[in-house]
């Protein structure tokens, strides 16, 4: 069931790059009422449109370093800038990669609790400039 929008005056996108595309589809349906656009990131970039509003990006830490670099290079070229959430497994104990950019704005844990993730995204959306 789609979630209720608590940020009605804000226009923002959610850009998502996860290892499992089926999770992106579930999130897209769940967040259809709180965002202008839910965009699953396509590594080829040919199917990933330019971002038209403020964006909250979710990237899976389990992606390869090359995939993360491509994603962050894409984000760097976008305007307006993004707020970025890193998705980690709950039992993650390794040090974070040094290749991650300094602009990670938060960490979310997999498996996702949709209500908690929604609250986090709406909280960030309220603080987008």
CA dist 42 and 25 (Å) reads 13
- 51 within some domain: yes
Q: Token pair for residue 31?
A: 């967040």
pLDDT tens by residue, 74-125: 888 876 678 899 998 877 766 666 556 667 888 898 888 888 898 888 888 8
Determine the Cα angle at 79 with ends 67 and 6, to 5°.
Answer: 90
**What is the pLDDT, as a whole number, of residue 7?**
46
Residue 59 structural domain: 34-111
- 12 within some domain: no
- 40 within some domain: yes
pLDDT band at residue 129 using 50, 70 and 90 as cut-offs? low
Report how many domains make up the chain.
1
Cβ 26 vs Cβ 50: under 8 Å:
no
Strands 54-60, 37-40: pairing kind: unpaired
pLDDT tens by residue, 61-79: 888 888 888 888 888 887 6
- 101 within some domain: yes
CA dist 12 and 129 (Å) reads 11
């Amino acid at each position: 069931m789609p979630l209720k929008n608590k940020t009605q005056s804000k226009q923002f996108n959610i850009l998502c790059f996860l290892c499992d595309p089926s999770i992106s589809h579930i999130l897209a349906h769940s967040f259809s009422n709180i965002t202008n656009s839910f965009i699953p990131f396509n590594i080829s970039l040919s199917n990933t449109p330019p971002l038209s509003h403020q964006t909250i990006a979710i990237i899976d830490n389990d992606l390869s370093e090359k995939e993360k670099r491509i994603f962050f290079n894409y984000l760097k070229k976008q305007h307006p800038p993004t707020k970025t959430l890193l998705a980690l497994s709950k039992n993650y104990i390794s040090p974070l990669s040094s290749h991650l950019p300094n602009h990670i704005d938060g960490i979310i844990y997999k498996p996702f609790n949709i209500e908690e993730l929604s609250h986090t995204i709406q909280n960030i959306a309220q603080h987008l400039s």
